[in-house]
A and B are shown apart, each in its own frame.
Chain A
């Protein structure tokens, strides 16, 4: 069991309160996943700036700042507990190399022009507080509360998984063909950092998006290629989608108003959202991809 949540804003009415809406959803999903939590927030992109979400762990922030300034000239750092958002115009290829080579103890949680990702072990309520999710604004967000079944309780094992620029994916369920699929994707050039099944699903999506498939078409072909139980919520810079496997044992409910689309494992996750009682509330059908944006 895990809890998954997501919100996509159709208008800008709630942009300032996106973090607050998402944190309430994660808090309410504590019962489905008490051992780790994480979230991705899509903010308005800044001109020609890349953002790198880094988990620096025990590394001293000031020491990191000093070290990184030796490698990257123009940058800004925002610290949230043991996570740091590094902003720089420098291209991902170079920055990822610098991080991997010079800071082996740091894990790159995600990167892009818009996305910021935070994830950590611990009770969702503590994780959300630690990263000050309430203060975030943005256009869409995705979150996860984890009850580990498939791999260890670690930061690397927490969701969301991001395996491509401005991409992220959360998963409730378990995949049964992830080892095979991982091998196939590695052959095609994908890189994986954990033994987790969900990371393979995220890698599958990334690989497909690189090949210019739309998010919707990617998930439609995923229904054939991914074997197991799943409800996925996935986000890109401008897109947001959900899909459930054909058996649909893993729950999901969608609430749509004129201002937003909210998705959660259970209705109680969204009971606090504005106008939810007048929203169109429905259960996504098995094997059907629902997507918003592009």
Chain B
């Protein structure tokens, strides 16, 4: 089914996709003329396939559950923020805070993601084929972030148990973020993720893993003067 945002209001499109009849067989939707609208396809809960033809604004596919959403263009701030499950595939670049606070699902970005990618992520898998900006993975808690290009300043600052895999250069590591050893399980998991994103050119072994040094987990009396 084709939904044209030049003819339909944003709210009409979202309401339609949010309240589908479960018995309905039509599971494939194409959205045309998104024209940078915000919160497009936010709050979807059904297993449907959506193809957005063009650039979208903020919070696209936010809170997504189960839906598979492909964007043939760029996305603004907070794509797939707080996603629970499903898959979001951005064919262009993403602005800041991509996949922020998301609990699950898969976010693939073919281009670059700017600052704060995966901020406070809680279980999502994020795969960026390009590079990510500064403060990416800030306070991220669990899940995997894979970056085929470079990472900006303060990568993984104050992170908990997210695994961050970077293939290129890291400008600088944030507080308590360190490079960690890649063991067999990490290689296995990363290979699976690369396969899911259809990345054939890079092997899992060519990435470096970063994670928490776990030094900020507990209060240290020696640091009392810093507070």
Residues of A within 8 A of B (CB): 248, 251, 253, 266-272, 277, 281-283, 285-286
The residue in chain A whose Cβ has the minimal distance to the Cβ of B53 is A277
Asked whether, in the complex, the Cβ of A281 is within 8 Å of the Cβ of B74, the reply is: yes
Asked whether, in the complex, the Cβ of A286 is within 8 Å of the Cβ of B134, the reply is: yes
CB distance from A3 to the nearest CB of B (A): 12
CA gap between A269 and B37 in the complex, in Å: 10
Question: Among A266, A268, A272, A283, which residue has its beta carbon within 8 angstroms of that of B114?
Answer: A283
CB distance from A70 to the nearest CB of B (A): 51
User: B residues 111-125 with Cβ under 8 Å of A?
Assistant: 114-115
CB distance from A251 to the nearest CB of B (A): 7
Instruction: Provide 22 A-B residue pairs closer than 8 Å at the C-beta atoms, listed in order of the A residue.
Output: A248-B114, A248-B115, A248-B133, A253-B95, A266-B58, A267-B36, A267-B55, A267-B56, A267-B74, A268-B36, A268-B37, A272-B35, A277-B54, A281-B55, A281-B74, A281-B93, A282-B93, A283-B93, A283-B95, A285-B133, A286-B115, A286-B133
User: B residues 100-131 with Cβ under 8 Å of A?
Assistant: 114-115
Residues of B within 8 A of A (CB): 35-38, 54-58, 73-74, 76-77, 92-93, 95-96, 114-115, 133-134
CA gap between A281 and B92 in the complex, in Å: 9
CA gap between A248 and B55 in the complex, in Å: 21
Tell me which residues across on chain A come within 8 A of B58, comparing CB atoms: 266
Given contacts A253-B74, A267-B55, A285-B133, 9 further A-B contacts (CB under 8 A): A248-B133, A267-B36, A269-B36, A271-B35, A271-B55, A277-B54, A283-B93, A283-B114, A286-B134
CA gap between A134 and B74 in the complex, in Å: 29
Count of A-B contacts judged by CB separation below 8 Å: 50
Tell me which residues across on chain A come within 8 A of B36, comparing CB atoms: 266-271
Tell me which residues across on chain A come within 8 A of B96, comparing CB atoms: 248, 251, 283
CA gap between A83 and B20 in the complex, in Å: 53
Interface SS, B side: loop
Tell me which residues across on chain A come within 8 A of B76, comparing CB atoms: 251, 253, 266-267
Question: Among B38, B115, B133, which residue has its beta carbon within 8 angstroms of that of A268?
Answer: B38
The residue in chain A whose Cβ has the minimal distance to the Cβ of B134 is A286
Tell me which residues across on chain B come within 8 A of A251, comparing CB atoms: 76-77, 95-96
CB distance from B86 to the nearest CB of A (A): 24
Tell me which residues across on chain A come within 8 A of B35, comparing CB atoms: 268, 271-272
CA gap between A94 and B96 in the complex, in Å: 49
A-B CB proximity, top 4 nearest: A268-B36, A271-B35, A267-B36, A271-B36
Tell me which residues across on chain A come within 8 A of B92, comparing CB atoms: 281
CB distance from B110 to the nearest CB of A (A): 14
The residue in chain A whose Cβ has the minimal distance to the Cβ of B57 is A268
Q: Which of A267, A269, A286 has the most CB of B within 10 A?
A: A267
CA gap between A282 and B75 in the complex, in Å: 10
Tell me which residues across on chain B come within 8 A of A282, comparing CB atoms: 93
Tell me which residues across on chain B come within 8 A of A267, comparing CB atoms: 36, 55-57, 74, 76
The residue in chain A whose Cβ has the minimal distance to the Cβ of B5 is A271
The residue in chain A whose Cβ has the minimal distance to the Cβ of B95 is A283
Tell me which residues across on chain A come within 8 A of B134, comparing CB atoms: 248, 286
CA gap between A271 and B115 in the complex, in Å: 23
CB distance from A237 to the nearest CB of B (A): 31
CB distance from A101 to the nearest CB of B (A): 48
Tell me which residues across on chain A come within 8 A of B114, comparing CB atoms: 248, 283, 285
CA gap between A277 and B32 in the complex, in Å: 12
CB distance from B28 to the nearest CB of A (A): 23
CA gap between A285 and B112 in the complex, in Å: 12
Tell me which residues across on chain B come within 8 A of A286, comparing CB atoms: 115, 133-134
The residue in chain B whose Cβ has the minimal distance to the Cβ of A31 is B38
CB distance from A229 to the nearest CB of B (A): 13
